[in-house]
Structure 1
């Protein structure tokens, strides 16, 4: 038969409590490491650390709510624009391209809405694939239209169809893409 020793039981409780305190200290330390701090070097008490963490979490929650509201506003604006049957949509416009060939120089003017800016990157990619050297590129935003201007130098191909081939390929890309 086993006899319970009161001092053994007390030692077990002390050990359990010590482990619990160490575990809590580790958790407080982890929480404190996740909160951005001022560059102050002074030691902050544990209650102040917890207040700081709670305030930081509340600030993050408020920022998250603001971002959700902004996303919802933008989604509503996009839905309203997409459902407009008049063809005049805010930020949404059919892309247009103008290509001017001047000897070995090629000027490309691309006009898009705010929603189709990826087309600029694709135009540059096509020019590089066709071995045209981009000399200058830029853009301007006016209301809901983006005007891209690209100046390039076309390497003459053996067949002599360098610039016309590039022009045709760019037009096919822009007007063949049904949606942005």
Structure 2
């Protein structure tokens, strides 16, 4: 082999090596893609090991399945948002209802000695008229009101405290009768009590604080346990 032939042979060797390398790289790439397609196909609901679909069909099935999953995810997010919104609205509604529940009025009547009464009324602002009605009932029963005051309490409620003196002529049964009538009135049994709004047209009472000048004389009689 002459010198010229040797040069041609040496020049062709790198070219042949490059072609072989390219073939190996391409074969590896194809095998890798084939493996990826196989894994993707195994994730499809329609996958069957015994029935291998052509590659284009596998890709079509995968695209359809991915789109269906995207739709399901979107629907799930919308449902979650609706549920969260509904729960928040329910919480706000429940909080509003709890805040606006009417507080049932409560009355306690304590006999303090033979002639003294302590009346304690607890109610919501919407029932504050009850205090005026209690004063009206006491006037009807000829009971002398010694002191009366009102104050607000936490939770949108009011507490009204009233001290009264039973006339000596009614001391034996008067306290019990007045106590029973007040309780029946506040608890709703008011068949014997007609609420007359006009009664207060000419009779105004400041329920924030009302002290009568003869309180000291009542205290000296034995009024020693105020609220």
TM-score per shorter chain, which class? 0.3 to 0.5
| TM-score normalised by the chain length of structure 1 | 0.48
| TM-score normalised by the chain length of structure 2 | 0.38
